[in-house]
Structure 1
Protein backbone atom coordinates (compact mmCIF):
# COMPACT_ATOMS: atom_id res chain seq x y z
CA UNK A 1 0.00 0.00 0.00
CA UNK A 2 2.84 2.35 0.85
CA UNK A 3 4.61 1.75 -2.48
CA UNK A 4 1.41 2.38 -4.41
CA UNK A 5 0.75 5.65 -2.56
CA UNK A 6 4.34 6.77 -3.09
CA UNK A 7 4.20 6.01 -6.81
CA UNK A 8 0.90 7.82 -7.25
CA UNK A 9 2.26 10.96 -5.62
CA UNK A 10 5.77 11.07 -7.09
CA UNK A 11 5.03 10.01 -10.67
CA UNK A 12 3.22 13.25 -11.66
CA UNK A 13 5.94 15.31 -9.97
CA UNK A 14 8.72 13.53 -11.85
CA UNK A 15 6.87 13.98 -15.11
CA UNK A 16 6.38 17.67 -14.33
CA UNK A 17 10.04 18.08 -13.44
CA UNK A 18 11.11 16.47 -16.74
CA UNK A 19 9.25 19.23 -18.62
CA UNK A 20 12.37 21.39 -18.17
CA UNK A 21 14.38 19.79 -20.95
CA UNK A 22 17.98 20.02 -21.99
CA UNK A 23 16.92 22.09 -25.01
CA UNK A 24 15.50 24.72 -22.68
CA UNK A 25 18.50 24.85 -20.36
CA UNK A 26 21.75 24.55 -22.31
CA UNK A 27 23.48 27.59 -23.84
CA UNK A 28 24.58 27.76 -27.50
CA UNK A 29 23.49 24.25 -28.42
CA UNK A 30 24.37 24.70 -32.10
CA UNK A 31 27.67 26.49 -31.47
CA UNK A 32 29.66 24.19 -33.81
CA UNK A 33 27.58 25.43 -36.76
CA UNK A 34 28.89 28.96 -36.21
CA UNK A 35 32.57 28.23 -35.74
CA UNK A 36 35.00 30.32 -37.80
CA UNK A 37 32.36 33.00 -38.45
CA UNK A 38 33.22 36.68 -38.73
CA UNK A 39 32.89 38.76 -35.57
CA UNK A 40 31.30 42.15 -36.17
CA UNK A 41 31.94 45.08 -33.85
CA UNK A 42 30.15 48.41 -33.68
CA UNK A 43 31.57 51.24 -31.59
CA UNK A 44 28.97 52.69 -29.20
CA UNK A 45 28.19 56.37 -29.49
CA UNK A 46 28.39 59.04 -26.80
CA UNK A 47 25.02 59.80 -25.20
CA UNK A 48 23.61 62.28 -22.68
CA UNK A 49 24.78 61.71 -19.09
CA UNK A 50 28.00 60.05 -20.23
CA UNK A 51 31.04 61.24 -18.32
CA UNK A 52 34.08 61.70 -20.55
CA UNK A 53 37.77 61.80 -19.80
CA UNK A 54 39.50 63.86 -22.48
CA UNK A 55 43.29 64.07 -22.62
CA UNK A 56 44.94 66.54 -25.01
CA UNK A 57 48.63 66.11 -25.68
CA UNK A 58 51.36 67.85 -27.67
CA UNK A 59 55.11 67.60 -28.19
CA UNK A 60 55.24 70.59 -25.86
CA UNK A 61 53.13 69.62 -22.80
CA UNK A 62 53.01 73.23 -21.63
CA UNK A 63 50.92 74.40 -24.60
CA UNK A 64 48.54 71.42 -24.23
CA UNK A 65 48.05 71.88 -20.47
CA UNK A 66 45.29 74.55 -20.71
CA UNK A 67 43.06 72.07 -22.57
CA UNK A 68 43.22 69.42 -19.82
CA UNK A 69 41.39 69.23 -16.55
CA UNK A 70 43.55 68.57 -13.50
CA UNK A 71 42.29 65.20 -12.21
CA UNK A 72 45.33 64.40 -10.07
CA UNK A 73 46.80 60.94 -9.61
CA UNK A 74 45.12 57.89 -11.20
CA UNK A 75 46.66 55.21 -8.99
CA UNK A 76 43.59 54.26 -6.96
CA UNK A 77 39.87 53.67 -7.13
CA UNK A 78 39.38 57.00 -5.38
CA UNK A 79 41.14 58.66 -8.32
CA UNK A 80 38.74 56.96 -10.76
CA UNK A 81 35.81 58.26 -8.75
CA UNK A 82 37.39 61.72 -8.73
CA UNK A 83 37.80 61.60 -12.51
CA UNK A 84 34.07 60.89 -12.79
CA UNK A 85 33.31 63.90 -10.61
CA UNK A 86 35.60 66.18 -12.58
CA UNK A 87 35.07 64.69 -16.03
CA UNK A 88 33.04 66.19 -18.87
CA UNK A 89 29.33 65.47 -18.35
CA UNK A 90 27.45 65.26 -21.65
CA UNK A 91 24.28 67.36 -21.36
CA UNK A 92 20.87 66.44 -22.86
CA UNK A 93 21.81 68.34 -26.04
CA UNK A 94 24.88 66.13 -26.47
CA UNK A 95 27.44 68.87 -25.80
CA UNK A 96 30.28 69.39 -23.31
CA UNK A 97 32.16 72.51 -22.24
CA UNK A 98 35.93 72.30 -22.73
CA UNK A 99 38.55 74.83 -21.61
CA UNK A 100 39.19 77.47 -24.31
CA UNK A 101 37.24 75.52 -26.98
CA UNK A 102 34.03 76.05 -24.99
CA UNK A 103 31.03 74.14 -26.36
CA UNK A 104 31.82 70.94 -28.27
CA UNK A 105 29.10 68.73 -29.76
CA UNK A 106 30.00 65.08 -29.09
CA UNK A 107 26.60 63.40 -28.71
CA UNK A 108 26.00 60.74 -31.35
CA UNK A 109 29.73 60.41 -32.11
CA UNK A 110 31.87 57.42 -31.27
CA UNK A 111 34.76 58.23 -28.92
CA UNK A 112 37.13 57.85 -31.90
CA UNK A 113 35.13 60.37 -33.97
CA UNK A 114 34.98 62.75 -31.01
CA UNK A 115 38.77 62.60 -30.85
CA UNK A 116 38.99 63.56 -34.52
CA UNK A 117 36.53 66.44 -34.09
CA UNK A 118 38.36 67.93 -31.10
CA UNK A 119 41.73 67.52 -32.81
CA UNK A 120 40.47 69.30 -35.94
CA UNK A 121 39.18 72.21 -33.87
CA UNK A 122 42.48 72.55 -32.03
CA UNK A 123 44.33 72.71 -35.37
CA UNK A 124 41.83 74.77 -37.38
CA UNK A 125 41.48 77.37 -34.64
CA UNK A 126 45.28 77.66 -34.43
CA UNK A 127 45.66 76.46 -30.84
CA UNK A 128 47.94 73.48 -31.49
CA UNK A 129 49.89 72.26 -34.52
CA UNK A 130 49.91 68.49 -34.13
CA UNK A 131 47.91 67.52 -31.03
CA UNK A 132 46.90 64.09 -29.77
CA UNK A 133 43.44 63.60 -28.28
CA UNK A 134 42.13 60.66 -26.24
CA UNK A 135 38.42 60.38 -25.36
CA UNK A 136 37.11 57.72 -23.01
CA UNK A 137 33.74 57.13 -21.31
CA UNK A 138 34.27 56.76 -17.56
CA UNK A 139 30.83 55.61 -16.39
CA UNK A 140 30.08 52.58 -18.58
CA UNK A 141 27.43 50.47 -16.86
CA UNK A 142 24.51 48.16 -17.57
CA UNK A 143 21.54 46.99 -15.51
CA UNK A 144 20.51 43.33 -15.32
CA UNK A 145 17.22 42.31 -13.68
CA UNK A 146 15.16 39.18 -13.17
CA UNK A 147 16.33 35.59 -13.04
CA UNK A 148 20.06 36.06 -12.45
CA UNK A 149 21.98 35.22 -9.30
CA UNK A 150 23.28 38.76 -8.78
CA UNK A 151 20.96 41.40 -10.32
CA UNK A 152 21.77 45.07 -10.21
CA UNK A 153 23.79 47.81 -11.89
CA UNK A 154 27.23 46.62 -13.02
CA UNK A 155 30.14 48.81 -14.16
CA UNK A 156 32.57 47.86 -16.92
CA UNK A 157 35.62 49.61 -18.35
CA UNK A 158 35.49 48.45 -21.99
CA UNK A 159 33.57 50.23 -24.76
CA UNK A 160 31.29 47.20 -24.97
CA UNK A 161 31.16 43.63 -23.66
CA UNK A 162 29.44 40.49 -24.89
CA UNK A 163 26.06 39.43 -23.57
CA UNK A 164 27.68 36.30 -22.14
CA UNK A 165 30.19 38.50 -20.29
CA UNK A 166 27.29 40.49 -18.81
CA UNK A 167 25.54 37.32 -17.65
CA UNK A 168 28.81 36.08 -16.17
CA UNK A 169 29.22 39.34 -14.22
CA UNK A 170 25.72 38.73 -12.82
CA UNK A 171 26.80 35.23 -11.64
CA UNK A 172 24.84 33.39 -14.36
CA UNK A 173 21.13 32.81 -14.88
CA UNK A 174 19.05 30.98 -12.28
CA UNK A 175 17.49 27.60 -12.93
CA UNK A 176 14.11 29.32 -13.39
CA UNK A 177 15.26 31.68 -16.17
CA UNK A 178 13.78 31.45 -19.65
CA UNK A 179 16.89 31.21 -21.81
CA UNK A 180 15.07 31.43 -25.13
CA UNK A 181 13.91 35.04 -24.68
CA UNK A 182 16.40 37.38 -23.00
CA UNK A 183 15.27 40.99 -23.41
CA UNK A 184 17.83 43.69 -24.17
CA UNK A 185 16.59 47.29 -23.83
CA UNK A 186 18.65 50.11 -25.35
CA UNK A 187 18.17 53.81 -26.12
CA UNK A 188 19.26 54.74 -29.65
CA UNK A 189 18.96 58.30 -30.98
CA UNK A 190 16.29 59.19 -28.42
CA UNK A 191 14.27 56.02 -29.10
CA UNK A 192 13.90 52.93 -26.93
CA UNK A 193 14.73 49.68 -28.75
CA UNK A 194 13.93 46.19 -27.46
CA UNK A 195 15.85 43.15 -28.74
CA UNK A 196 15.07 39.50 -28.01
CA UNK A 197 17.90 36.98 -27.70
CA UNK A 198 17.66 33.18 -27.67
CA UNK A 199 20.65 31.94 -25.65
CA UNK A 200 20.04 28.31 -26.59
CA UNK A 201 21.39 29.05 -30.07
CA UNK A 202 24.61 30.74 -31.20
CA UNK A 203 22.95 32.50 -34.16
CA UNK A 204 22.94 35.87 -32.38
CA UNK A 205 26.64 35.97 -31.54
CA UNK A 206 27.79 37.71 -34.73
CA UNK A 207 25.20 40.49 -34.45
CA UNK A 208 26.90 43.65 -33.12
CA UNK A 209 23.56 44.86 -31.70
CA UNK A 210 23.82 42.19 -29.04
CA UNK A 211 27.04 43.51 -27.52
CA UNK A 212 26.30 45.28 -24.25
CA UNK A 213 26.83 49.03 -24.30
CA UNK A 214 26.56 51.94 -21.89
CA UNK A 215 23.17 52.16 -20.12
CA UNK A 216 21.79 48.90 -21.57
CA UNK A 217 19.15 47.03 -19.55
CA UNK A 218 18.91 43.22 -19.61
CA UNK A 219 15.71 41.56 -18.38
CA UNK A 220 15.60 37.81 -17.74
CA UNK A 221 12.05 36.44 -17.48
CA UNK A 222 11.16 33.63 -15.03
CA UNK A 223 9.54 30.43 -16.24
CA UNK A 224 5.88 29.55 -15.63
CA UNK A 225 6.55 27.55 -12.47
CA UNK A 226 8.38 30.47 -10.85
CA UNK A 227 5.64 32.92 -11.87
CA UNK A 228 2.83 30.69 -10.62
CA UNK A 229 4.60 30.13 -7.31
CA UNK A 230 4.65 33.88 -6.73
CA UNK A 231 8.36 33.72 -6.07
CA UNK A 232 7.95 31.36 -3.10
CA UNK A 233 9.72 28.56 -4.96
CA UNK A 234 13.06 29.84 -6.17
CA UNK A 235 14.13 26.53 -7.71
CA UNK A 236 11.84 23.90 -9.26
CA UNK A 237 13.88 21.21 -7.50
CA UNK A 238 12.35 22.50 -4.27
CA UNK A 239 9.07 21.00 -5.46
CA UNK A 240 10.52 17.52 -5.09
CA UNK A 241 11.68 18.30 -1.57
CA UNK A 242 8.23 19.55 -0.61
CA UNK A 243 6.65 16.53 -2.28
CA UNK A 244 8.90 14.15 -0.34
CA UNK A 245 7.85 15.78 2.94
CA UNK A 246 4.17 15.56 2.04
CA UNK A 247 4.61 11.93 1.02
CA UNK A 248 6.15 11.08 4.37
CA UNK A 249 3.22 12.69 6.19
CA UNK A 250 0.68 10.86 4.01
CA UNK A 251 2.39 7.51 4.56
CA UNK A 252 2.34 8.06 8.32
CA UNK A 253 -1.39 8.82 8.15
CA UNK A 254 -2.05 5.75 5.97
CA UNK A 255 -0.03 3.59 8.33
Structure 2
Protein backbone atom coordinates (compact mmCIF):
# COMPACT_ATOMS: atom_id res chain seq x y z
CA UNK A 1 0.00 0.00 0.00
CA UNK A 2 2.90 2.32 0.70
CA UNK A 3 4.13 1.89 -2.86
CA UNK A 4 0.66 2.66 -4.20
CA UNK A 5 0.43 5.79 -2.04
CA UNK A 6 3.76 7.03 -3.32
CA UNK A 7 2.71 6.33 -6.89
CA UNK A 8 -0.47 8.35 -6.57
CA UNK A 9 1.42 11.16 -4.86
CA UNK A 10 3.74 11.22 -7.86
CA UNK A 11 0.78 11.40 -10.24
CA UNK A 12 -0.79 14.25 -8.27
CA UNK A 13 2.49 16.15 -8.25
CA UNK A 14 2.88 15.68 -12.00
CA UNK A 15 -0.65 16.90 -12.66
CA UNK A 16 -0.02 19.94 -10.47
CA UNK A 17 3.13 20.84 -12.41
CA UNK A 18 1.30 20.52 -15.73
CA UNK A 19 -1.62 22.66 -14.61
CA UNK A 20 0.62 25.30 -13.04
CA UNK A 21 2.59 25.64 -16.28
CA UNK A 22 -0.50 26.31 -18.41
CA UNK A 23 -0.42 29.83 -19.85
CA UNK A 24 -3.27 32.21 -19.17
CA UNK A 25 -4.98 34.34 -21.80
CA UNK A 26 -3.50 37.56 -20.42
CA UNK A 27 0.00 36.16 -21.07
CA UNK A 28 -0.70 35.20 -24.69
CA UNK A 29 -3.03 37.69 -26.39
CA UNK A 30 -1.48 40.75 -28.08
CA UNK A 31 -2.84 44.31 -27.85
CA UNK A 32 -5.35 43.65 -25.09
CA UNK A 33 -8.10 46.29 -24.68
CA UNK A 34 -6.92 48.00 -27.86
CA UNK A 35 -10.48 49.12 -28.66
CA UNK A 36 -10.33 51.39 -25.62
CA UNK A 37 -6.93 52.78 -26.58
CA UNK A 38 -6.38 56.07 -28.42
CA UNK A 39 -3.17 56.21 -30.40
CA UNK A 40 -1.25 59.45 -30.75
CA UNK A 41 -0.07 60.45 -34.21
CA UNK A 42 3.55 61.30 -33.38
CA UNK A 43 5.01 57.91 -34.30
CA UNK A 44 3.61 58.03 -37.83
CA UNK A 45 6.25 60.58 -38.88
CA UNK A 46 9.16 58.33 -37.89
CA UNK A 47 12.28 58.50 -40.04
CA UNK A 48 15.60 56.90 -39.03
CA UNK A 49 18.63 59.10 -38.44
CA UNK A 50 21.97 58.36 -40.03
CA UNK A 51 24.60 56.97 -37.69
CA UNK A 52 28.21 55.70 -37.83
CA UNK A 53 28.76 52.57 -39.93
CA UNK A 54 25.73 53.27 -42.11
CA UNK A 55 26.43 52.45 -45.74
CA UNK A 56 24.86 54.96 -48.13
CA UNK A 57 24.15 54.96 -51.83
CA UNK A 58 23.98 58.53 -53.15
CA UNK A 59 23.01 59.43 -56.70
CA UNK A 60 23.36 62.99 -57.97
CA UNK A 61 21.54 64.08 -61.11
CA UNK A 62 21.01 67.35 -62.94
CA UNK A 63 19.32 68.83 -65.99
CA UNK A 64 22.64 68.49 -67.76
CA UNK A 65 23.82 64.93 -66.92
CA UNK A 66 27.46 65.76 -67.72
CA UNK A 67 27.82 68.21 -64.84
CA UNK A 68 26.71 65.54 -62.37
CA UNK A 69 29.33 62.99 -63.49
CA UNK A 70 32.11 64.14 -61.09
CA UNK A 71 29.74 63.62 -58.14
CA UNK A 72 28.86 60.02 -59.07
CA UNK A 73 31.96 57.93 -58.59
CA UNK A 74 31.91 54.35 -59.83
CA UNK A 75 33.64 51.34 -58.38
CA UNK A 76 34.71 48.48 -60.63
CA UNK A 77 33.74 44.94 -59.64
CA UNK A 78 35.37 41.98 -61.38
CA UNK A 79 32.89 39.39 -62.62
CA UNK A 80 35.27 36.48 -62.12
CA UNK A 81 38.59 35.78 -60.52
CA UNK A 82 40.16 34.71 -63.84
CA UNK A 83 38.72 37.58 -65.88
CA UNK A 84 40.88 40.66 -66.27
CA UNK A 85 39.06 42.62 -68.94
CA UNK A 86 35.40 42.00 -68.24
CA UNK A 87 34.07 44.15 -65.44
CA UNK A 88 30.82 45.74 -64.38
CA UNK A 89 30.66 49.32 -63.01
CA UNK A 90 28.50 50.12 -60.01
CA UNK A 91 27.94 53.25 -57.97
CA UNK A 92 30.38 54.01 -55.18
CA UNK A 93 28.96 53.62 -51.68
CA UNK A 94 29.72 55.94 -48.79
CA UNK A 95 30.46 54.78 -45.24
CA UNK A 96 29.50 57.08 -42.39
CA UNK A 97 32.60 57.19 -40.18
CA UNK A 98 32.84 57.43 -36.39
CA UNK A 99 32.53 61.22 -36.62
CA UNK A 100 29.30 60.96 -38.62
CA UNK A 101 31.01 62.13 -41.82
CA UNK A 102 31.32 60.85 -45.37
CA UNK A 103 33.97 61.73 -47.92
CA UNK A 104 32.16 63.10 -50.96
CA UNK A 105 33.67 63.80 -54.40
CA UNK A 106 34.82 67.39 -55.02
CA UNK A 107 33.18 68.69 -51.83
CA UNK A 108 35.16 66.59 -49.33
CA UNK A 109 34.06 65.69 -45.79
CA UNK A 110 30.35 66.19 -45.09
CA UNK A 111 28.79 65.55 -41.68
CA UNK A 112 25.54 63.62 -42.07
CA UNK A 113 25.40 61.69 -38.79
CA UNK A 114 22.38 62.57 -36.68
CA UNK A 115 20.36 63.75 -39.69
CA UNK A 116 17.38 61.98 -41.17
CA UNK A 117 17.67 60.86 -44.77
CA UNK A 118 15.50 63.80 -45.90
CA UNK A 119 17.63 66.27 -43.95
CA UNK A 120 20.82 64.74 -45.35
CA UNK A 121 19.56 65.02 -48.94
CA UNK A 122 18.55 68.65 -48.36
CA UNK A 123 22.02 69.41 -46.99
CA UNK A 124 23.71 67.76 -49.96
CA UNK A 125 21.52 69.66 -52.42
CA UNK A 126 22.51 72.91 -50.75
CA UNK A 127 26.23 72.09 -51.02
CA UNK A 128 25.88 70.90 -54.61
CA UNK A 129 24.09 74.10 -55.62
CA UNK A 130 27.49 75.80 -55.66
CA UNK A 131 28.49 73.48 -58.51
CA UNK A 132 25.24 72.37 -60.20
CA UNK A 133 22.11 74.25 -61.17
CA UNK A 134 19.01 72.65 -59.62
CA UNK A 135 20.72 69.43 -58.46
CA UNK A 136 18.72 66.35 -57.50
CA UNK A 137 19.90 63.93 -54.79
CA UNK A 138 18.70 60.43 -54.09
CA UNK A 139 19.98 58.61 -51.00
CA UNK A 140 19.42 55.16 -49.57
CA UNK A 141 20.69 53.27 -46.51
CA UNK A 142 22.01 49.98 -47.86
CA UNK A 143 22.72 48.16 -44.59
CA UNK A 144 19.43 48.82 -42.78
CA UNK A 145 18.77 45.64 -40.83
CA UNK A 146 17.30 44.33 -37.58
CA UNK A 147 18.11 41.17 -35.64
CA UNK A 148 15.50 39.02 -33.90
CA UNK A 149 16.64 36.40 -31.37
CA UNK A 150 15.19 34.08 -28.75
CA UNK A 151 11.77 32.43 -28.72
CA UNK A 152 10.71 33.12 -32.31
CA UNK A 153 10.18 30.60 -35.08
CA UNK A 154 12.87 31.98 -37.42
CA UNK A 155 15.55 33.91 -35.50
CA UNK A 156 18.03 35.81 -37.63
CA UNK A 157 19.13 39.13 -39.11
CA UNK A 158 16.72 40.68 -41.61
CA UNK A 159 17.62 43.39 -44.17
CA UNK A 160 14.93 46.06 -44.45
CA UNK A 161 14.31 47.56 -47.88
CA UNK A 162 11.86 50.29 -46.88
CA UNK A 163 14.07 51.84 -44.15
CA UNK A 164 11.12 51.76 -41.77
CA UNK A 165 9.83 48.77 -39.81
CA UNK A 166 7.72 48.33 -36.69
CA UNK A 167 8.37 45.89 -33.88
CA UNK A 168 5.33 43.72 -34.81
CA UNK A 169 6.54 43.61 -38.43
CA UNK A 170 10.03 42.49 -37.35
CA UNK A 171 8.55 39.73 -35.19
CA UNK A 172 6.37 38.65 -38.12
CA UNK A 173 9.46 38.39 -40.35
CA UNK A 174 10.88 36.02 -37.74
CA UNK A 175 7.76 33.85 -37.89
CA UNK A 176 6.16 35.37 -34.75
CA UNK A 177 6.80 34.28 -31.18
CA UNK A 178 6.68 30.62 -30.24
CA UNK A 179 4.23 29.54 -27.54
CA UNK A 180 7.15 29.78 -25.13
CA UNK A 181 7.97 33.46 -25.78
CA UNK A 182 7.24 36.08 -23.13
CA UNK A 183 5.01 38.61 -24.82
CA UNK A 184 5.07 41.13 -21.98
CA UNK A 185 8.84 41.54 -21.71
CA UNK A 186 10.38 41.96 -25.19
CA UNK A 187 13.95 43.25 -24.92
CA UNK A 188 15.17 45.81 -27.47
CA UNK A 189 18.89 46.60 -27.65
CA UNK A 190 19.75 49.82 -29.44
CA UNK A 191 22.99 51.71 -30.08
CA UNK A 192 22.72 55.49 -30.34
CA UNK A 193 25.75 57.73 -30.74
CA UNK A 194 28.06 54.99 -29.52
CA UNK A 195 25.99 54.20 -26.42
CA UNK A 196 24.04 50.97 -26.00
CA UNK A 197 20.59 51.29 -24.45
CA UNK A 198 18.04 48.62 -23.55
CA UNK A 199 14.31 48.73 -22.96
CA UNK A 200 11.45 46.32 -22.34
CA UNK A 201 8.23 46.32 -24.38
CA UNK A 202 4.92 44.72 -23.40
CA UNK A 203 3.11 43.48 -26.51
CA UNK A 204 0.01 42.56 -24.51
CA UNK A 205 -0.72 46.25 -23.90
CA UNK A 206 -1.48 48.69 -26.75
CA UNK A 207 0.39 51.55 -25.03
CA UNK A 208 3.57 50.50 -26.80
CA UNK A 209 2.11 51.91 -30.06
CA UNK A 210 3.07 55.34 -28.69
CA UNK A 211 6.51 54.19 -27.57
CA UNK A 212 9.68 55.34 -29.30
CA UNK A 213 10.40 51.64 -29.78
CA UNK A 214 7.29 50.95 -31.85
CA UNK A 215 9.44 51.73 -34.89
CA UNK A 216 12.81 49.98 -34.90
CA UNK A 217 16.01 51.70 -35.95
CA UNK A 218 18.77 50.24 -38.09
CA UNK A 219 20.81 47.56 -36.29
CA UNK A 220 18.31 47.16 -33.43
CA UNK A 221 18.38 43.75 -31.71
CA UNK A 222 15.08 42.24 -30.51
CA UNK A 223 15.29 39.43 -27.96
CA UNK A 224 12.29 37.34 -26.85
CA UNK A 225 12.77 35.70 -23.47
CA UNK A 226 11.48 32.17 -22.75
CA UNK A 227 8.54 31.90 -20.36
CA UNK A 228 8.38 29.72 -17.24
CA UNK A 229 6.98 26.78 -19.17
CA UNK A 230 10.05 26.68 -21.44
CA UNK A 231 12.45 27.16 -18.53
CA UNK A 232 10.78 24.38 -16.55
CA UNK A 233 10.71 22.06 -19.54
CA UNK A 234 14.43 22.63 -20.12
CA UNK A 235 15.06 21.42 -16.59
CA UNK A 236 12.61 18.51 -16.68
CA UNK A 237 13.40 17.50 -20.25
CA UNK A 238 16.74 15.71 -19.67
CA UNK A 239 15.16 13.67 -16.86
CA UNK A 240 11.89 12.74 -18.61
CA UNK A 241 13.24 9.36 -19.76
CA UNK A 242 14.23 8.48 -16.21
CA UNK A 243 10.79 9.58 -14.97
CA UNK A 244 8.99 7.42 -17.53
CA UNK A 245 11.14 4.44 -16.61
CA UNK A 246 10.39 5.00 -12.92
CA UNK A 247 6.63 5.16 -13.60
CA UNK A 248 6.80 1.95 -15.65
CA UNK A 249 8.66 0.21 -12.84
CA UNK A 250 6.10 1.39 -10.26
CA UNK A 251 3.22 0.14 -12.39
CA UNK A 252 4.92 -3.24 -12.75
CA UNK A 253 5.48 -3.51 -8.99
CA UNK A 254 1.86 -2.57 -8.26
CA UNK A 255 0.62 -5.12 -10.74
CA UNK A 256 2.72 -7.86 -9.14
CA UNK A 257 1.83 -7.01 -5.55
CA UNK A 258 -1.92 -6.87 -6.20
CA UNK A 259 -2.18 -10.33 -7.74
For 1:173 and 1:242, the matched residues in 2 are separated by 31
For 1:55 and 1:232, the matched residues in 2 are separated by 58
The within-5 A match list for 1:87-236 is 87-123=93-129, 125=130, 127-230=131-234, 233=237
Structure 1 gap segments, 5+ residues each: 73-81
For 1:228 and 1:104, the matched residues in 2 are separated by 54
Moved over 6 A (4+): 241-246
Q: Secondary structure at the match of 1:175?
A: coil
The within-5 A match list for 1:56-67 is 56-67=60-71
Q: Secondary structure at the match of 2:251?
A: helix
Matching residue of 1:26? 29
How far is 1:133 from its partner? 0.7
Spell out, residue by residue over 1:137-156, the C-alpha distance to the aligned partner (whole angstroms, 9 max, x if none).
00101122211122222111
Q: Secondary structure at the match of 1:54?
A: strand
Contact 1:183 1:194 in 2 (8 A): yes
For 2:14 and 2:233, the matched residues in 1 are separated by 19
How far is 1:9 from its partner? 5.3
Q: Please report the TM-score for the alignment, with normalisation by the length of structure 2.
A: 0.79
Contact 1:53 1:83 in 2 (8 A): no
Per the alignment, do residues 9 and 231 of structure 1 end up closer, same or farther by CA in structure 2, a change over 3 Å counting?
Answer: closer
How far is 1:119 from its partner? 0.6
Contact 2:39 2:209 in 1 (8 A): no
For 1:202 and 1:242, the matched residues in 2 are separated by 44
For 2:214 and 2:51, the matched residues in 1 are separated by 18
Contact 2:21 2:229 in 1 (8 A): no
Q: Secondary structure at the match of 1:166?
A: helix
Matching residue of 2:56? 52
Q: Please report the TM-score for the alignment, with normalisation by the length of structure 1.
A: 0.81
Contact 1:40 1:207 in 2 (8 A): no
For 1:68 and 1:137, the matched residues in 2 are separated by 16
Per the alignment, do residues 36 and 184 of structure 1 end up closer, same or farther by CA in structure 2, a change over 3 Å counting?
Answer: closer
Q: Secondary structure at the match of 1:40?
A: helix
Say how many residue pairs are matched: 238
How far is 1:37 from its partner? 5.2
For 2:52 and 2:140, the matched residues in 1 are separated by 14
Structure 2 gap segments, 5+ residues each: 77-88
Q: Secondary structure at the match of 1:107?
A: coil
How far is 1:175 from its partner? 1.6
How far is 1:89 from its partner? 0.9
